[in-house]
């Protein structure tokens, strides 16, 4: 991609903190570029940024077609997944519509509109937490998350749709699918950040799995670098270190409740009554490690991938 030519970028999911950080990094380096940021959520609180136009748009076929008809996009960032923290049926229906149906529409329009690069945010959760997981899962590991947790079906299906489309169109469009480990930070409202930084956390007494964490700034930087430095492919995103759950809780300093995992379901239902919700799928990650290999990513970005270590990323959560 040319360093000097003006680029027009569609950034889906601009209401999220990670998308806003990515937009800022891009425009700091390329102030003459233009970003159209869209979201189905309220965008009134998106900070003003020269070169960024934020729009609240319902994710429908007609609206997407109108966007691509009005603008000639060079790059599309698809960061618009709805959180899978909630299992409510109406939220699940919306997630499936956006993650599966919406993604199909977006990819189809990218193909028709001669988009040069597509960057898609998936998640390491597609692999699933199982006792027989390899020590480090590479990008060819099976996506087993929905076997035990149907609420993750949309996440797995979206990833599969994107990777299949990526290889089918690899000669026409450069496509990058990123599967990051747990992203944490003050502007991230995902399940893991809420679990670690909430008023109280669950601390298993009979399990102590290993975790990988990446700070939100480092993740935004990887998204930015994907523009120039990552070729077509699927990439796990994580540092080279990992930490046990108990040590992670100690670093953050959140008050925690020791409990045996066999009581997790009952204790979780009690916590929900005081607005502390630990998604059912996350309980598996409190039992079994799901560590991902960063070997492929380091081939292109070098060994010094991240600015913040795991402990630094966790300590920064305290700024919330």
* pLDDT tens-place string over residues 19-78: 999 999 999 999 999 999 999 899 999 999 999 999 999 888 899 999 999 999 999 999
pLDDT of 4 > 60? The answer is no
Q: Which residue has the higher pLDDT, 114 or 320?
A: 114
Residue 120, pLDDT score: 97
Q: Which residue has the higher pLDDT, 124 or 146?
A: 124
Position 186 in a domain: yes
Grade residue 94 by pLDDT with cuts at 50, 70 and 90: low
Grade residue 92 by pLDDT with cuts at 50, 70 and 90: low
Q: To which H or E segment does residue 251 belong? A: helix 245-252
Picking from 2-6, 14-18, 164-168, 204-208, which range would have the lowest pLDDT averaged per residue? 2-6
Mean pLDDT of the chain: 89
Tell me how far CA of residue 186 lies from CA of 17, 22, 39, 93, 196, in angstroms: 9, 15, 20, 28, 11
Residue 272, pLDDT score: 66
As for how many domains the chain has, the answer is 1
pLDDT of 82 > 60? The answer is no
Picking from 13-17, 83-87, 151-155, which range would have the lowest pLDDT averaged per residue? 83-87
pLDDT of 147 > 70? The answer is yes
Residue 268, pLDDT score: 64
The model's pTM is 0.92
Average pLDDT over residues 142-153: 87
Q: Which residue has the higher pLDDT, 1 or 173?
A: 173
Position 2 in a domain: no
Position 172 in a domain: yes
Average pLDDT over residues 250-277: 74
d(C-alpha 27, C-alpha 30), whole Å: 5
pLDDT of 271 > 70? The answer is no
Position 227 in a domain: yes
Contacts 24+ apart (CB under 8 A), 225-229: 225/301, 226/119, 226/176, 226/178, 227/1, 227/26, 227/75, 227/117, 227/119, 228/1, 229/300, 229/301
Grade residue 315 by pLDDT with cuts at 50, 70 and 90: very high
Average pLDDT over residues 276-292: 86
CB 143 within 8 A of CB 157: no
Owning domain of residue 312: 8-319
CB 204 within 8 A of CB 288: no
Position 1 in a domain: no
What CATH number is attached to the domain comprising 259?
3.40.50.720
Position 214 in a domain: yes
> In which residue are the tokens 């923290």 written?
85
Residue 79, pLDDT score: 93
Strands 256-259 and 201-204 turn out to be parallel
């Amino acid at each position: 991609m040319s360093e000097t030519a003006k680029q027009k970028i569609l950034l889906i999911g601009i209401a999220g903190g990670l998308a806003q950080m990515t937009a800022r990094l891009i425009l700091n380096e390329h102030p003459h570029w233009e970003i159209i940021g869209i979201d189905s959520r309220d965008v009134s609180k998106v900070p003003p940024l020269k070169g960024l136009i934020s729009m609240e748009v319902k994710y429908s076929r007609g609206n997407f077609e109108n966007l691509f008809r009005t603008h000639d996009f060079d790059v599309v960032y698809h960061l618009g997944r709805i959180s899978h923290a909630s299992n409510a049926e109406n939220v699940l229906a919306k997630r499936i519509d956006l993650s599966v149906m919406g993604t199909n529409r977006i990819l189809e329009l990218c193909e028709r509109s001669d988009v040069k690069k597509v960057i898609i945010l998936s998640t390491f959760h597609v692999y699933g937490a199982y006792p027989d997981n390899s020590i480090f899962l590479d990008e060819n590991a099976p996506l087993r998350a929905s076997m035990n947790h149907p609420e993750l079906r949309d996440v797995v299906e979206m990833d599969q749709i994107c990777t299949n489309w990526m290889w089918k169109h690899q000669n026409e469009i450069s496509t990058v699918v990123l599967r990051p480990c747990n992203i944490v930070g003050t502007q991230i409202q995902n399940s893991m950040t809420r679990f670690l930084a909430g008023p109280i956390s669950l601390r298993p007494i009979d399990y102590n799995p290993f975790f990988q964490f990446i700070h939100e700034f480092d993740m935004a930087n990887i998204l930015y670098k994907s523009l120039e430095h990552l070729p077509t492919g699927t990439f796990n995103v994580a540092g080279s270190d990992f930490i046990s759950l108990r040590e992670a809780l100690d670093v953050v300093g959140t008050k925690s409740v020791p409990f045996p995992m066999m009581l997790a379901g009952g204790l979780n239902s009690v916590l929900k009554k005081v607005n502390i919700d630990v998604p059912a799928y996350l309980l598996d990650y409190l039992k079994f490690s799901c560590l991902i290999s960063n070997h492929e990513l380091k081939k292109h970005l070098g060994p010094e991938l991240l600015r913040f270590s795991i402990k630094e990323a966790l300590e920064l959560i305290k700024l919330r």
